[in-house]
Amino acid sequence: MKATVTVVTLLLLAAAGAQANEVYLTKDAQGRPVYTDKPATLPAQKLDVQTSPTDAAEVQQRYDADVQRIAEANKASAAAQAKATDARKAQELTAEDRAKRCADARQRYQSYQTARRLYEPGASEGERRYLSSEEIDAARANAKQVMDEFCSGL
């Protein structure tokens, strides 16, 4: 970006220094038009070109405005890139978390399927309440549903 601004500035300064009052149009060997202030071959058609001196203050103002516009564009681009990076990281974390939850749900489902008896913790430490056959079937169905939910799309 800085190089572009530098080139534009140099072109403006070069245009300010080149105040040729006479411009000629000639043709090269291939017939293409050539514009010059000193024709190498005759005949050359003299063109009426209006020139005016360049105001250095105006050039500086345009240069400053261009630099400011480019800086704002760079800032907006950096903000958009940071936002995209954050979204991609969040997506990766979500996928990583989803994979972990899938593995945990699959392991729980497998343990429910192979277990002969299931229990839930009781009121005090070390106390258990064993589930009935209907409750075991419901727990297995729930574990399957959770596993399907977390593992779908992986």
User: pLDDT tens for residues 101-146?
Assistant: 899 999 999 999 998 888 888 777 788 888 888 999 999 999 999 8
Can you give the pLDDT at residue 91? Answer: 72
Of the candidates 1, 19, 20, 17, the one whose C-alpha atom is nearest the C-alpha of residue 59 is 17
Report if residue 146 sits inside a domain: yes
Report if residue 8 sits inside a domain: yes
Report if residue 17 sits inside a domain: yes
Same-domain status, 151 and 96: yes
Least confident among 27-36, 43-52, 65-74, 94-103: 43-52
Report if residue 83 sits inside a domain: no
Report if residue 152 sits inside a domain: yes
Q: Are strands 23-27 and 45-47 parallel, antiparallel or unpaired?
A: antiparallel
Report if residue 75 sits inside a domain: no
Same-domain status, 94 and 39: no
DSSP secondary structure code for residue 12 in this structure: H
Count of domains for the chain:
2
Report if residue 15 sits inside a domain: yes
Local confidence band at 151 (pLDDT 50, 70, 90 cut-offs):
confident
Can you give the pLDDT at residue 103? Answer: 92
Q: Which domain holds residue 123?
A: 88-154
Can you give the pLDDT at residue 95? Answer: 77
Same-domain status, 94 and 146: yes
